[in-house]
Amino acid sequence: MSDTRPIGVFDSGVGGLTVLQQLHALLPGERLIYLADLAHFPYGPRYQHEVRDFALRIIDHLVGLDTKLVVVACNTATAAALNAARERFDVPIVGVIAPGAQAAVEATRNGRVAVISTEGTRASQEYVHAIKEANPGVGVLGLAVPDLVDIVEAGEAAGPQAHAILAEVLTEIGGWGADTLVLGCTHYPLLRPTLQRLLHGGAVSVVDSAETTAARVGRILTVNRLGAGGEATVAPVLLVTAAPQRFAASAELLFGGSLPEPTLVPLWDAAALSGASP
């Protein structure tokens, strides 16, 4: 028996579209709803309690749309809100940190893993905990590289500023001896071409959580018999809490013109008018 209810996915901006793409490729028969919280973009520099409140309000909205599973397609929001969300909501909630951590542990050969992320994700130490949970013997170097988020949102992932920042990052992790680099922000996979040029096919494995998160979602759907079945490709629904034109422009720059137009959802106005708290 198939379950045709949609899967909800959210992030503060376009970065989570990397996860959406992988879900769309792996699970083409599933209906997908993506919500970008541009009203509060970016999440990285914000306090954890702020991000937690935003995330819980968004998940509540997505659950209200009868989603059968929600993906927190943001490392900062995963660190801030995943545990609280799992306690509050009955639907499965999947974050992006644990899948990426597991992939890094499987990829490293010398037991040294570097993680680049936003400041909020680095400060939470959630990647350290997740990697140590998977293998306590692995060493972890965490680096905050927040400027990369704005660079990616501006469509400059292949530009000189991104190149300079990533060159500095690779010098630092190379000096530390890491053989595996985790892209600990869902915006960062869009920097892969620049990274590959800098690495020149070197000995550093690059891991992002988009593909591994999609695979985990697929397993959860199978185990819990929540799959929609069939192979017909269904276009995702895109929602934004602000600046739909900016979102559409960024998405088109990064992914081409294949995405539908986003719909503005006045989520925070509605919350304020109703007196609801996150």
Question: Is 187 annotated as belonging to a binding site?
Answer: yes
Task: Tell me whether residue 110 is annotated as binding.
Answer: no
Query: Was 44 annotated as part of a binding site?
Result: yes
67 is in an annotated binding site: no
Burial 84-115 (b: 16+ CB within 10 A, else e): ebeeebebbbbbbbbbbbbbbbebbeeebbbb
Does 76 appear as a known binding residue?
yes
Rounded to 5 degrees, φ, ψ at 161 are -70, -45
Question: In this structure, which amino acid lies at residue 215?
Answer: A
Tell whether residue 37 is among the known ligand binding residues: no
Contact 229, 223 (CB under 8 A): no
Question: What residues act catalytically?
Answer: 74, 185
Q: State yes or no: 75 annotated in a binding site.
A: yes
Nearest CA among 147, 197, 146 for reference residue 170: 197
- For the sheet containing 93-94, what is the strand order? 93-94, 69-72, 7-11, 32-36, 237-240, 263-264
Dist. CA 87–CA 245, nearest whole Å: 35
The sign of the dihedral angle between the CA atoms of 115, 118, 119, 120 is negative
Q: Which residues are annotated as a binding site for substrate?
A: 11-12, 43-44, 75-76, 186-187
Q: Which residues are annotated as a binding site?
A: 11-12, 43-44, 75-76, 186-187
